[in-house]
Amino acid sequence: MTEIKILKIGGSVLTDKTVLESAKMEAIERIAAEIAGHDSGLILVHGAGSFGHIHAKNYSLVERLSREGVLETHRSVVRLNDLVVEALRRAGSSPVPVHPLSCTILRDGRIEAMQTDQFGEMVDWGLVPVLHGDVAVDRSRGAGIVSGDQLVTHLARSLEPEIVALGTAVDGVIFNGKVLAEVKREDLPEIGSELGPSAGVDVTGGMRGKLEELLDLADEGISSLIFNAEKAGMIERVLGGERAGTLVEVKA
Ligand code: IP8
């Protein structure tokens, strides 16, 4: 079986989160080129950025079901997913889009069930699944948002990856102006107040939401990296097994 690596690229890296559906094409092409040389066993998840978050907010999807909002939000994130998939294909990778709406059920905003058997098969056959933050059916409220971060932790729990890495628009978890080399559960009370929301429109919690997801994962014995994917070369280094940014560490 191929060793699995899970990489998430945040929506702030791929889009301008303040302007509706504005993809940063140069960044997408560069990231695709960096990934293409290191895509064995890779599952890629990307955030929604200004595709998805703005629709989700306009339709108040986190608070209540909007049937129109489900369609518009999903279609929007699929448009970004198409851009990422096409860039990967141009770069020489073999991407395949996977839309969480079609294989995930939520309850109270959390993943209750997700079909994941296909991912091991896909990577074994040389395909690179490309998932994204999405809208999904929620048993308790009709529909909800499943963030890329939640997808990453869910996949990590079921697939036992060798690498879990989250590429963001910052160098890692920043406290007192410095990048922390590692963060553990016990650090959260001290650093929590400094973890700001992300720039632009965001319905899924920014750095704090990310860290909470990753600390839950660390509690289960899986560590992960938060690194800067805006810096050229970082994705290649991280996929090559290098430690960069902040390690969200399992308890000692
Ligand atoms: O950008 C959010 O995913 P994220 C998905 O990974 C939607 O938080 C539809 C807003």
Which residue's CA lies nearest to atom 8 of ligand 1?
A: 147
Distance CA 209, CA 196 (A): 10
The answer to whether residue 59 scores a pLDDT higher than 90 is: yes
Which residue's CA lies nearest to atom 5 of ligand 1?
A: 133
Contacts of 97 (CB under 8 A, 6+ apart): 78, 81, 82, 85, 130
- pLDDT tier at 119 (50, 70, 90 boundaries)? very high
The answer to whether residue 199 scores a pLDDT higher than 80 is: no
- pLDDT tier at 193 (50, 70, 90 boundaries)? confident
- Domains of the chain in sequence order: 5-248 (3.40.1160.10)
Mean pLDDT of 176-196: 89
Burial of 141 (0-12, 13-18, 19+ CB in 10 A): middle
Cα 150 to ligand 1 centroid, rounded to whole Å: 10
The answer to whether residue 198 scores a pLDDT higher than 90 is: no
Q: What is the pLDDT of residues 209-251, one digit of tens each?
A: 899 999 999 999 999 999 999 999 999 999 999 999 999 999 7
Residues that constitute the known binding site for ATP: 8-12, 49, 206, 210
Q: Please tell me the predicted confidence (pLDDT) of residue 195.
A: 81
Name the more confident of 230 and 189. Answer: 230
The binding-site residues of ligand 1, defined as CB within 6 angstroms of any ligand atom, are 11, 47-48, 52-53, 56, 73, 77, 133-135, 145, 147-149, 203-204
Cα 246 to ligand 1 centroid, rounded to whole Å: 22
Show the tokens assigned to 209.
């939401």
Which residue's CA lies nearest to atom 10 of ligand 1?
A: 53
Q: What is the pLDDT of residues 123-181, one digit of tens each?
A: 999 999 999 999 999 999 999 999 999 999 999 999 999 999 999 999 999 998 899 99
